[in-house]
Structure 1
């Protein structure tokens, strides 16, 4: 099975790994992201016949409409949408958080995702395609500092379930992919560029890799068309859900 996959956030991490995984199996890739130089490198690596790059910020609704409306013929028949673009900003408690960070997470993780999805729905319905939404274990398991990031990912998970209900009878499959600890640029971005903080978080933990998640995405996308994987939660063996925290009086 091959087809065309539209990937948001394809310039790094899981998005870039997914582009390589699908391209390696003969799929055509519409690779979108904000960093042109990384998209150019992906095209140089995988070939212009397989990758159509689009410099795109998913918070720009008009740009999304133009990009999807202008897809060239070899890449226009999108079979799979991978909503991967997203970010976390800040690690502090809600009362100390930057409101602009909250707004950026909402604009990217929620508004951007639903705008791309709505724009591609007619094609996906026509193609009886699939939607893969990158959520997180943070959608289900709360932790200190998770505040708005966890809330946005809870939206993604619930939106996926509601899409399944709305798309009943169309043949379109929808899956919420909910990874735990994956070593990518995620923590560097979250901490404002602190590579040392990222290294400390992952050190000795044997975390999942972007390639692990890309393999999972490929498996979901290539299941028989009568089979829907509703939700997958993944963690490295070293990670598990902790107990409740209790504040005690002195």
Structure 2
């Protein structure tokens, strides 16, 4: 049992919820941040109020994330890790047929929301020489015809490396968790051959629980 604390955005379903379940099973206490308060409260009931805290809010609002982190540390003590996991895709692929409003909404979540998580969490993580996880994607490691979504994940991979160097100066660590297709609500129908959310959660916990002298910069998972 670690007794450590983990803040997770996009925690109401998919990778975020799976990571919360696995972290609690391994002794972590978790702060669950997402817009869907009803789902967060259901997850807290499942995990136990001593282990999990519902933190409803909008990832695109810096003030929401700052307030959530303060609430979490007031309840659970020092922050040891944060997982910038919230993200969304696009209904209209490519550039020519892409919808500008969709691009703006995606960039607010996939890029600005992630930046806000990093900025809000770093002051807390500095106190513990803590760890920041970012959800990247296989789409951020390859070129996909016209993919604006893929470009948003290229940002995550580039920024993750830059942030790892910044955090290294004070003993912190940053890891990009980069899965291929994951069977979550991200897709309209089930993807039985895709990676399961709990498999991505396992990658996140692997990075978080690496030895004191190991910095796992990226975990890249693909369906078999």
Q: How much does 1:30 deviate?
A: 0.4
Distance 1:169 1:41, change over 3 A: same
Question: When the two structures are aligned, how many residues end up with a matched partner?
Answer: 223
CA RMSD of aligned residues (A): 1.4
Q: How much does 1:122 deviate?
A: 1.2
**Aligned equivalent of 1:187:** 187
Q: Name structure 1 gaps, 5 residues minimum.
A: 189-197, 238-250
**Aligned equivalent of 2:8:** 7
**Aligned equivalent of 2:62:** 61
**Alpha-carbon separation, structure 1, partners of 2:218 and 2:172:** 15
Q: Aligned with 1:132: secondary structure?
A: strand
1:222 aligns with 2:223: no
**Alpha-carbon separation, structure 1, partners of 2:99 and 2:53:** 36
**Aligned equivalent of 2:120:** 119
Q: Aligned with 1:96: secondary structure?
A: coil
CA contact (8 A) 2:62 2:120 kept: no
**Aligned equivalent of 1:242:** none
Q: How much does 1:168 deviate?
A: 2.4
Q: Aligned with 1:187: secondary structure?
A: coil
**Aligned equivalent of 1:175:** 175
Q: Aligned with 2:96: secondary structure?
A: helix
**Aligned equivalent of 2:165:** 165
**Aligned equivalent of 2:94:** 93
Per-residue Cα deviation, 1:156-191 (whole angstroms, up to 9, x for no partner): 111110011112231101111110011111112xxx
Which structure: larger Rg? 1
1:152 aligns with 2:139: no
1:130 aligns with 2:131: yes
Q: Aligned with 2:89: secondary structure?
A: coil
**Alpha-carbon separation, structure 1, partners of 2:194 and 2:121:** 33
Q: Name structure 2 gaps, 5 residues minimum.
A: none
Q: Report the TM-score, using the length of structure 2 for normalisation.
A: 0.95
Per-residue Cα deviation, 1:71-125 (whole angstroms, up to 9, x for no partner): 3534241101111100102243211111011011110011011111111101111
**Alpha-carbon separation, structure 1, partners of 2:11 and 2:135:** 13
Q: Aligned with 1:186: secondary structure?
A: coil
Q: Which piece of structure 1 moves more, 149-158 or 59-68? A: 59-68
**Aligned equivalent of 2:83:** 82
